[in-house]
Amino acid sequence: MASLRKYWPLALTGDARTFLRTGKDAAYDMIVFGALDSHAVFSSMSSVRIDNYVYTVESFSEALKRLAPQGILAVTFYCYRDWQMEWVFNALWKANGAKPVVVHSLGEQRNNLVMFAGPGAPRDILLAHPYVIAENAETLEGHGTVEPTTDDWPFLFLR
């Protein structure tokens, strides 16, 4: 198997948030938060999960700042409970300043969702797209009444 460095000559140190926060001044057309939630904790006695501090207002803000003028932030999230979806949705809404567009990513499996935000994801245009109309998940998005996840309270699966 060929080395990834041949195709992607980056030396990464730290995690994705560190890269976004301290990386060069590059602007990205798309940043994807995809399948980050492992649904596993470090131990059975812990509430610290691998995905904590990823789906927070601060994390989304850092990513949105790194987008190109027409860039899109796409966030995939699988939720067990509607309130989990609301926490993540509200965090992205607060970071973006506008409501993200939410669609089902696997058709009828309503718990697997993708949220789109950023300057290249205007709601009015996306909501008119045939795929978005067919797979729209806006009934699950919440109304800003649930506090968003933050770096001070990033626990997606604790209520």
CB count within 10 Å of CB 90 equals 22
User: What pLDDT, on the 0 to 100 scale, is given for residue 1?
Assistant: 42
Edge-to-edge strand list for the sheet holding 28-33: 28-33, 67-78, 112-117, 101-104
Comparison of pLDDT for 20 and 44, the residue scoring more: 20
Q: Decide: helix, strand or coil at residue 8.
A: coil
Q: Report the C-alpha gap between 33 and 102 in whole angstroms.
A: 14
H or E element in which residue 70 lies: strand 67-78
The two most distant CA atoms of the chain are separated, in Å, by 49
pLDDT tops 80 at residue 121: yes
Both tokens of 105, joined, read 């990513």
Position 159 pLDDT exceeds 80: no
pLDDT digits (tens, 9 = 90+) for 65-113: 999 999 999 998 877 777 777 888 889 999 999 888 888 776 655 677 8
Q: How far apart are CA 21 and CA 65, in angstroms?
A: 9
Helix axes 57-65, 82-96, angle to 10 degrees: 40
Report the mean per-residue pLDDT for the chain: 76
Give percent helix, percent strand, percent coil of the chain, each to the nearest 5: 30, 20, 50
